[in-house]
Amino acid sequence: MGLGGCIILIAVGAILTFATDWDMQGVNLDLVGIIFMIVGLIGVATFSSIAKRRRVVVPPTTPVVDENGQQRGGYQGY
């Protein structure tokens, strides 16, 4: 479930909780809406923590130059 799915869960949960007054026998729609909102918030937190870890950039290493002036290892400058 991506970020869009989590936001949709939050929106559907808010609509069920705050914008409807339907009565279904055996189902508390207010509770279902609150559960949807909580699951959506947990999904957003999980998605953002995973996305934050993916953005870590490792800086290039310093090139090593041997005694002949040739570059070995490290960042090649591509």
Burial (CB < 10 A; 0-12, 13-18, 19+), residue 33, is: buried
Chain segment 6-64, per-residue pLDDT in tens: 999 999 999 999 999 888 899 999 999 999 999 999 999 999 888 777 766 666 666 66
Measured in Å, how far apart are the chain's first and last C-alpha atoms? 36
Report yes or no: 13 and 42 within 8 Å, Cβ to Cβ: no
Q: How far apart are CA 50 and CA 45, in angstroms?
A: 9
pTM of the model: 0.65
